[in-house]
Amino acid sequence: MATSLEQNLSREKIFAASLEFFLDPIKPFLQDDTVTEIMVNGHDEIYVERRGQLEETSARFESADTLLSAVHNIAQYVGREIDEMRPVLDARLPNGSRVHAVIPPSARRGTYLTIRKFSKERLTLEDLLEFGSLSEPSKEFLELCIRLRKNIIVSGGTGTGKTSLLNALSKAIPDEERVVVIEDSSELKLSQKHCLYLEAQQGDTKGRGKLTIRQLFVASLRMRPDRILVGEVRGGEALDMIQSMLSGHSGSLTTVHANSARDALIRLETLSLMSDVSIPIYVARAQVASAIDLIVQIARFSEDGSRKIVAISEVQGLRENEYQLQDLFVSRRTGVSRTGKVITELEHVGNQPTFAREAFEHGLERMVHFSAPLWDLKPATRS
């Protein structure tokens, strides 16, 4: 008699085979490591993102029904339903790639299917340094800030590489720490051994089994975390995260959709007000200003599709109820390479953070080699 494990393995094989059949028109893109996203805009129009640039392909599904059958196949595997009453599906393929589908009548041109591929290779800060997204001083500064347990927000627009940067930054977390990772759809893979991964669940048609990012965040606080990483803050969980930062859970890392450091703070403020806990706007603003230490702004350059850090800014609280920000590093364009790649340099602008003494006070001065101008490494003089 087959065991439940054998049955599950058999089911996985059957699904993988059927999925390969249904997704055959886009199979080459699923296997192409240079393709990061596949966008099906109806059965006869397919785009891919390759090295940050969109490309229209000649690939086609045989018919609208063929594409719709592929979406139903994915839904069946993840135990969810997609129909006219529930026209949106979020799921994950066996290889970890994230799937989003919308079907008619909500999708006016036919079934829309978007697949964000799961990257097997994890970028490191050393990779970002080699790509020109970071400089030696900025890389070292960020590593020290993580060791100093600063609360850091990675801010950027859609497709700018926020999650990849968050994963790269996480490598600076000391190996001995217990880290809880919370995501809507699991993408992060930390190098530390002592990591717990939590993933939100959509639930069934009656809402049973649903687990939100916010519920997972509250649960994580009871798991004795040294740090909490949230893949992306997009709802009322922002308030829980901000308040946990203020109550002793420092060193948190997360991402937010925003086009500038100031917009990122306003976004967090707005999301905090979406919580079911009613607080005045000035309280939300004050808490955000007190909790967040640094914002790392990332952007995608339309000229060549490259993704680069464009600024690292310190949050310095409020003045006359307005967020005060100090740029520490700003990206300066220096030219274009022979291959058409934008060349930038993330330069220190001359400012020191308000916590410039902390590297010395925590005995980390031995780690300072390239970022010395940002730190006060001299023993305090007695007056």
What is the pTM (predicted TM-score) of this model?
A: 0.86
Q: Which domains does the chain have, with CATH numbers?
A: 4-116 (3.30.450.90), 125-374 (3.40.50.300)
Tokens of 276: 């079911």
Tokens of 10: 């058999």
8-state DSSP, 16: H
Task: Please give the Cα distance from 375 to 368 (Å, whole number).
Answer: 8
| Residue pair 324/184 in contact by the 8 Å Cβ criterion | no
Task: Please give the Cα distance from 186 to 37 (Å, whole number).
Answer: 16
> What was the pLDDT predicted at 10?
66
- How many Cα neighbours within 13 Å face the side chain of 111? 22
Instruction: Evaluate the omega torsion of the peptide bond into residue 25 and state whether it is cis, within 30 degrees of 0.
Output: no
> What was the pLDDT predicted at 203?
67
- Hey, is 303 helix, strand or coil? coil
Strand 322-336 to 342-348 pairing: antiparallel
> What was the pLDDT predicted at 117?
87
8-state DSSP, 366: G
Amino acid identity, residue 190? L
> What was the pLDDT predicted at 206?
65
Tracing tokens 């759809």 back to the chain, one arrives at 185
Length, in residues, of the chain: 383
Q: How many C-beta atoms surround the C-beta of residue 83 within 10 A?
A: 11
Spell out the residues 6+ positions from residue 232 whose beta carbon is closer than 8 angstroms to its own: 162, 163, 183, 184, 254, 255, 256, 257
pLDDT tens digit sequence for 234-253: 898 999 999 999 988 899 99
pLDDT tens digit sequence for 74-107: 888 777 889 888 899 988 887 778 899 999 999 9
| Residue pair 343/131 in contact by the 8 Å Cβ criterion | no
Instruction: State the sign of the Cα–Cα–Cα–Cα dihedral 350, 355, 359, 361.
Output: positive
> What was the pLDDT predicted at 4?
58
pLDDT tens digit sequence for 346-381: 999 999 999 999 999 999 999 999 999 999 988 876
Residue from 133, 202, 181 nearest 161 by CA: 133
> What was the pLDDT predicted at 61?
96
> What was the pLDDT predicted at 205?
63
> What was the pLDDT predicted at 334?
87
Residues of the chain with pLDDT under 70: 1-12, 120, 203-208, 381-383
Tokens of 30: 């699923």
> What was the pLDDT predicted at 238?
92
